[in-house]
Amino acid sequence: MLHSPCGKRKYSGQRNVQKADGNDVLKFLDINNPTYKSEADFLLKHCKHLRVRSQDADKPIVYEICQLGQSASIQTFQWKQKHKSVTVENYYKEYYNLTLKYPSLPTLQMRNGSYILMELVDVEPVRVKKITDEQRALLCRYSSITPKEYCKSIQKIRENPNQQYFEEDPFAAAWNLNVHTDMLTLPARVLPMPEIVYTDQYQVTSEAVRDPGIWEMKPTKFHKPATFPAVWGFINLSSLDQQMCEDFYNELRIVAKNLGIDCHLPQIYEKYDSFLVANYYQESSENPQKRF
């Protein structure tokens, strides 16, 4: 609630404030507060669909917040077992023998229509899902950019006032982050690349690299090059035509020769439909007795 309307008025002139004080939050969310509606709307905006765990049962139960109800001392619901209407505060007092500490706080209405107390829930831990190969490739493509491009993107944000409202970002507010618009400049230096010495004749030096920080061993041959198979075949499962495959082999032969490896011509070239091959392996795995 540090960035709520009341929170901004309360803490705007204070520095190094990481979160709102609990007593202030109780005042912000008091039903008698003239700005209660705006405070409740701010809270609902940041916690709607949030998954929380209730601690009032024998074991934690996970709920999803749908709406905010009235305070526990006012909000009523139909108690089916007792066949009567009761407030949330009285229900917890009768059923759980629990006296609420903060009955003035709004209740949390879940998707199933039940009402849960704010003081008896905590946020369910985030479940991190493993990203796919496509997502990882996309992440690397957008994150692997040069420092110059990073600097340009940051400068673009700094020069655009419409993109500098970091305090209104819900993620920054949820983690109590304050983002400064000025870049921090630090002194730095480029360290020379270390030399890798295999033998007296085979070494990797700074002259053998393309750019600082990128090692490239094109001018260097293997100490004991591997022997390329004398008889081998080229199986094309892609959409490349034969000419493109020949160009690929020529490039492979040149690279292998530079490394001291003699790459012979393939003895056979075959092109197969990758879809048919995939179906064959799938059917073979499902029915090992089947053969084409």
Annotated domain spans of the chain: 5-123, 136-174, 191-220, 225-292
Residue 67 CA to residue 109 CA, distance in Å, equals: 5
pLDDT in tens, 108-130: 888 777 888 887 777 777 666 77
pLDDT for residue 67 = 82
Residue 29 CA to residue 101 CA, distance in Å, equals: 14
Most confident region among 21-25, 78-82, 167-171, 246-250 by mean pLDDT: 246-250
pLDDT in tens, 17-72: 778 777 887 788 877 778 888 888 888 888 887 788 777 666 677 777 888 888 88
For residue 54, the one-letter residue type is: S
Whether the pLDDT of residue 213 is over 60: the answer is no
> Tokens for 241?
């035509």
Mean pLDDT of 231-235: 85
Give the global pTM: 0.40
Write down the CATH number for the domain with range 5-123: 2.170.260.10
Top pLDDT among 48 and 164 is at 48
pLDDT in tens, 57-99: 666 777 778 888 888 888 888 888 888 888 888 888 888 888 8
Instruction: Check if the beta carbon of residue 89 is closer than 8 Å to that of residue 121.
Output: no
Mean pLDDT of 3-24: 78
Top pLDDT among 184 and 218 is at 184
Mean pLDDT of 163-177: 77
Residue 79 CA to residue 72 CA, distance in Å, equals: 15
Instruction: Check if the beta carbon of residue 280 is closer than 8 Å to that of residue 291.
Output: no
> If you average pLDDT over every residue of the chain, what do you get?
77
pLDDT for residue 31 = 77
Which residues, 6 or more positions from 244, have their beta carbon under 8 angstroms from its beta carbon?
none
pLDDT for residue 138 = 83
pLDDT band per the 50, 70, 90 thresholds, residue 153: confident
